[in-house]
Amino acid sequence: MKKAICPGSFDPVTNGHLDIIRRAAAMFDELIVLVSCNAAKRCLFTPAERIELIQGCVGDLPNVRVDSTDGLIAQYAADHSATGIVKGLRALSDFDYEFQQALTNKVLNPEIETVFLAASSDSMFLSSSMCKQVVALGGDCSRFVPPNALAALKAKLLPQP
Ligand code: ADP
């Protein structure tokens, strides 16, 4: 059985993430979307909130589950018998960091293969941070994030009546 992890901050999940998750789910028997809780990265949403938002979008994918870790991805993969890590690549700017991470993970856990999926042309410009900026400044983000993430962003970032 081929099990893979799709790790990220998902703060919050965007349509770009969901595109990668759906395509990865079609490639592996089981896919764990892994919310990484990196203390160095200040997030708007708690890990539990980020998990709930992703879960609200992947209910139709029976081989996908959502989890979180505050440890090493390579260690999580070893602990859960996952041999693949799937990452989306938006542009050359992603490549340097992702390549470095893939090589580090390979040393930490030689069983792991990192698979890069090219971002789809209609979401390759999307990032969670850009979505947060758009919502905070009153812009329309409905084409960039799923409805539950949009509502959560508005609840966090806009003054409530
Ligand atoms: P962000 O930069 O949006 O905070 P994350 O840290 O949550 O992203 O990213 C998790 C993974 O998803 C990374 O591999 C990242 O390259 C990928 N990813 C993020 N946004 C997109 C997108 N719009 N299209 C494809 N892949 C993406």
Say if ligand 1 is within 6 A of residue 36 CB: no
Task: Show me where the domains of the chain are located.
Answer: 3-123
Q: Whose CA is nearest to atom 17 of ligand 1?
A: 88
- Percent of the chain past pLDDT 90, that is, above it, reads 89
Helix ranges restricted to H, 4-80: 15-25, 47-55, 73-79
Q: What is the pLDDT of residue 160?
A: 79
Catalytic residue among 9, 36, 128, 132: 128
Looking at 7-11, 41-45, 114-118, which range is the least confident one? Answer: 41-45
Task: Say whether pLDDT at 161 is over 80.
Answer: no
Which amino acid is residue 31, in one-letter code?
L
pTM: 0.94
Catalytic residue among 9, 17, 123, 132: 17
User: Whole-angstrom Cα distance, residue 155 to residue 148?
Assistant: 11
Topology of domain 3-123 in CATH is Rossmann fold (3.40.50)
User: Whole-angstrom Cα distance, residue 124 to residue 38?
Assistant: 24
Which amino acid is residue 40, in one-letter code?
A
Q: What is the token pair recorded at 145?
A: 């994030």
Is 17 marked active-site? yes
> What are the pLDDT digits (tens) for 12-21?
999 999 999 9
Q: Taking all residues of the chain, what is their mean pLDDT, rounded to a whole number?
A: 95
State which H helix or E strand residue 116 sits in: strand 113-118
- Percent of the chain past pLDDT 70, that is, above it, reads 100
> What are the pLDDT digits (tens) for 78-131?
999 999 999 999 987 788 999 999 999 999 999 999 999 999 999 999 999 999
Say if ligand 1 is within 6 A of residue 123 CB: yes
Task: Say whether pLDDT at 39 is over 80.
Answer: no
User: Whole-angstrom Cα distance, residue 111 to residue 128?
Assistant: 30
For range 68-76, the mean pLDDT: 95
Confidence class of residue 1 from pLDDT cuts 50, 70 and 90? confident
